[in-house]
Amino acid sequence: MSDQQHQQSIEAAYYDMIDSALTPFTEEEKAPIFRAFQLANEAHKGTRRKSGEPYIMHPIAVAKIAVSEIGLGYKSAMAALLHDVVEDTSYTLDDIRDLFGEQIAYLVGGLTKLNTIFDKNLSLQAENFKKMLLAMSNDVRVVLIKLADRLHNMRTLGSMAPEKREKIASETNYLYAPLAHRFGLYSIKTELEDLTLKYQFPKEYKDLQVKLSSTEEQRQAYIERFKAPIIEKLREQGIEFDISGRVKSMYSIWNKMQKKHIPFEEVYDLFAVRVVFCPTEGVTEKAQCWHIYSLVTDIYQAKQERLRDWISVPKSNGYESLHTTVMGPEGNWVELQIRSTRMDEIAERGYAAHWRYKDNEDNITEVFKEDSVLDKLLFDIRETLSSNEVNPTDFLDQLKLNLFSSEITAFTPKGKMISLPKNATALDFAYSIHTQIGQKAIGAKINHKLTPISQHLHNGDQVEVLTADNQKPQAEWLHFAITPYALNHIKSALKKDEKERMQKGRQVVENAIKEAGWFPNAMLYKRLCNVYDVNNKEELFSNVGAGLMGVQEVERVVKKHLGRSKLLRYWELQLFPHTHKNSTFRGKTKEENIADGVFLLKEKDNVDKLSYKIATCCKPIPGDDVIGFRMGGNNVIVHKKSCPVAVKEASQHGDDIINAKWTEHKKEVFLAAIQLVTIDRSKLLLDIVRVISMDFDANIKNVTSRDHDGLVTTTIELFVHSTNELQNIIKALAKIEGNKNAIRVDIPDN
């Protein structure tokens, strides 16, 4: 393609982006967008992406996603067009500020990646993510444009090297898809998850594609049969509506198969039917949702335990809808979603639809503050970011736990509703009411029953916090509090107490040294630290200040040990070396430091010399899709690709990924587990053992079984050479008399 043809395609893409905006741009808005496009086009001229296309096509695509799929305005389009200019070209943020103003410069600055080289033990990805969220806490458009950027990168990931694909896909699954969910961007979240499946598990992705395609005609026919009586009933009532059936995402189907250890054929809820209605004048949306629910359940029997009411209490990301599961024709369970057109727009486009803010506002944060749900999100993020002592990887864990987890709702005795992350405790509840209530908490009454503050809360709990004036935060609270607000205030209180203890201890030790006729100095403190077997003088002061060492004892030790001659000290070290520190680095021996990874040996070129270990968390066996991580020196640990630990490691330490492939080792065996559900009968265990031990010559490590209502669930741990051998054993076990189900499961924790 000639330069002229390239330029024509670039201009066509630009004008397509302009035309695709959900809210059409005015002529006054188009002018600065075009200036941003011209600068970006000139700055990136001659640069190409891995796919071979001109680089400028990427920022144009990001801008299109921002304005057409998220619904952002003209300033966001400008920032998206310019988002890589500062990082990849000679332009600076000052240039952007001079040409386009302070707000565009701020957005571009928030989107620009860090180029600083951090300490090798920290995660660059985590630092980048933290910077993005810091910018986001002042202007949410930063993260929304970043999500658009990540979505386009995922759409074009096929042109990248395998290791790069693995890193980006893992990072997307761990951080960006949950973040899209938190912002209510359902469509983007779903596509990000499906794309991670495509690149992390290509075989499974293609298999699902084929199976969904082959059953599409049958599925559509069933949806039409299911919809027909509902349509008739709604029309009788004069309700204006749209009803549609939608297949669940491939990622959600695959995820269910993994969690429940079932094949595709046993996933019964492959699709959901949605009723979207136009509100009737004079009737509230909530009342109309329940009216339609009543009409539908007159036709189909509802499964009461599957009723989800997110119209009375919307999700934290603004999602509103009424969900139920009903028994459809031919005895199939079908999920039904009922929502208004407004609710549907929010469900598809998230906060961007909910706020309906305009990009020409001078103070965008003031517009955002009108939304209390957003306020809560930004508050949580600021709390997570507020502690400078949290290292980047801990920061990501805390952020994911508190911002991306499922939520519960609890109530104060007066009926005030408090939203908390799943697994939150009474202590988290106490801090969410007021800091001082959290600091003084000694217990709680949950549903009028006395419980400790470590008690986990459940949806709908009523909680009364009990306090005492003499109570103060304890170190063990850090083990069960999970919200950023609670954790940060506990750490702050503990740090303050520690500072007071150290000041008190310093005074005691210094006075004792002076009483012995010495002047406090580094040499004396080092000798005292050796005597007390502590790492440094700060630890010594803290122990003394905490009362672990009495004043008289300190004075006795000072007089005894600081009065000794150097010769006597020398012979003491020779005769009793085990009582003193013998380390040369951080209070540990060289061997201990190597084990802790302090001395890192990087083997970048000769991969054949790497030493591989099997991860104990997921215990992969030959045939499983695996991924390796360099753990320091020549050591590589191998995980299943689907292992949550592996996903987390890949998202935070993508540069340490090693491509791992199985080789044939017939002599090596690996531990695996099979679960059977069978009808209870005599000689059942004998038949199981015969298949495994005699037919396949496999060794059994352990067998456990439990019976319930005439069925026996048997779990067998056995040693196999590969997944092929394991599958053959499962197929053989499936044929034994009375078998209901035979599947591979995770190895039980012993």
Q: Is 91 helix (H, G, I), strand (E, B) or coil?
A: coil
Nearest to 733 by CA among 680, 686, 669, 676: 676
Active-site pick, 3, 87, 232, 298: 87
3-state DSSP of 610-679? CEEEECCCCCCCECECEEEEECCCCEEEEEECCCHHHHHHHHHCHHHEECCCCCCCCCCCEEEEEEEEEE
End-to-end CA distance of the chain: 63
| Pairing state between β 626-630 and 463-467 | unpaired
User: Alpha-carbon distance 446 to 453, whole Å?
Assistant: 10
Cβ atoms of 66 and 148 within 8 Å: the answer is yes
Nearest to 719 by CA among 747, 683, 681: 747
Give me the sheet containing 739-745, strands edge to edge.
699-708, 711-720, 670-679, 739-745
Compute the chain's Rg from CA coordinates: 31
User: Alpha-carbon distance 412 to 410, whole Å?
Assistant: 7
User: Alpha-carbon distance 110 to 376, whole Å?
Assistant: 21
Residue 65's contacts (CB-CB under 8 Å, 6 or more residues apart) are 148, 151, 152, 188
Burial class (CB in 10 A: 0-12, 13-18, 19+), 40: buried
State both tokens at 616.
Answer: 């104990």
Cβ atoms of 645 and 639 within 8 Å: the answer is yes
Which residue(s) pair with 679 in the sheet? 711
Q: Is 538 helix (H, G, I), strand (E, B) or coil?
A: helix
Nearest to 60 by CA among 175, 152, 161, 131: 152
Active-site pick, 88, 371, 464, 746: 88
Nearest to 276 by CA among 239, 301, 310, 232: 239
Which stretches of 369-483 are DSSP H helices? Answer: 372-385, 392-403, 426-433, 435-439
User: Alpha-carbon distance 600 to 456, whole Å?
Assistant: 41
Strands (E), 248-358: 271-277, 308-309, 322-327, 333-340
Cβ atoms of 339 and 274 within 8 Å: the answer is yes
Q: Is 88 a catalytic residue?
A: yes
Q: Is 717 a catalytic residue?
A: no
Q: What number of residues does the chain have?
A: 750
Q: Is 89 helix (H, G, I), strand (E, B) or coil?
A: coil
Burial code of 158-168, b = ≥16 C-beta within 10 A, e = fewer? eebeeeebbbb
State both tokens at 641.
Answer: 């690709």
Query: How many Cβ atoms sit within 10 Å of the Cβ of residue 733?
Result: 23
Nearest to 331 by CA among 226, 441, 211, 257: 226
User: Alpha-carbon distance 630 to 602, whole Å?
Assistant: 9
The residue assigned the tokens 């054929």 is 265
Q: Which residues are catalytic?
A: 87-88
